[in-house]
Amino acid sequence: MHDGNHVAFTSNKLISKIAGYTLELTFSSSVVYRRSHDFGHHGCANHYELDRSFDTTFPLIRLHRMQPKLWFHKYQQIYVWFVYGLTNFGDLFGTFDEIYWMSNFPSRQGFCSNFQVFSQAIIKMIWFITLIIIPTYLHGYLWAFPIWMLYMVIFSYSYALFFAVNHWTDEANFTDNSNINNTDWGIMQIQNSCNFALDSTFWSHICGGLNFQIEHHLAPGYSHTRLFEISQVVQEYCKQNNVKYVTYNTFWDALKGHYNLLKKLGESE
């Protein structure tokens, strides 16, 4: 799904696009993903005004110092683990809001045509019938609903946590209009991203190569199975040019870094 939406699944663009459409199985939208993630997040990762990823959690969770601090944010490092379990449920509503917004700007990258709006509506209808209506009819809602909930929660956690440890940690850089001047795009991608468990085949397989997040941001059209090949080159460049390159030894170390950031932003103004 991830490689497909970056046209990195295979050299055949049609097959990559089909692979990207598997995102629809989670009730998300590959059309929205390519627009908000590929054009928005990847264009200016961790930039407060331009990276829309910060909009996905606020006001429940404060992830950038530019966001207003609310009284309950001092507890966010505690309740965030519940909120992340609901991430995918936001797509039940957010997808259509995003598509409507995209359809009104024909001159912008990521414009959503009438055909795409129609096809997304059909896909959502098929998803609803296939994963909710039919299982409920065959097995009853006492069986179908809990399994559907488990399915949605598991994807929510995997999506939210892997994104969180790659960008929102106490070691990652955060950018806004006040400190972006004269910042090289590639340097910003390196400093605003984090790697973890680079020597672990297990984590590379489980997260689809997102443990090489820095290299992925430098070469998003490169298959995740080959990112390790350029990692040593990037690390050597950073060492020679005194560029901050953050990598955590394990996933759990990276998750602790995310916890530390949440606690810090919950306490400071």
Each residue's pLDDT tens digit, 65-82: 889 999 999 999 999 999
In the chain, where the domains are located: 2-267
pLDDT tier at 93, thresholds 50, 70, 90: low
Q: Quote the pLDDT of residue 193.
A: 95
pTM listed for this prediction:
0.87
For 7, the 3-state DSSP assignment is coil
Q: What is the largest CA-CA distance in the chain?
A: 63
CA 235/CA 239 separation, integer angstroms: 6
Q: Quote the pLDDT of residue 210.
A: 93
No. of H helices and E strands in the chain?
13, 2
Q: What is the mean pLDDT of residues 233-258?
A: 96
Please name which of 165, 158, 169 lies closest in space to residue 211, comparing C-alpha atoms: 165
pLDDT single digits (tens) 97-135: 666 655 555 445 556 677 777 887 888 888 889 888 999
pLDDT tier at 201, thresholds 50, 70, 90: very high
Q: Quote the pLDDT of residue 233.
A: 95
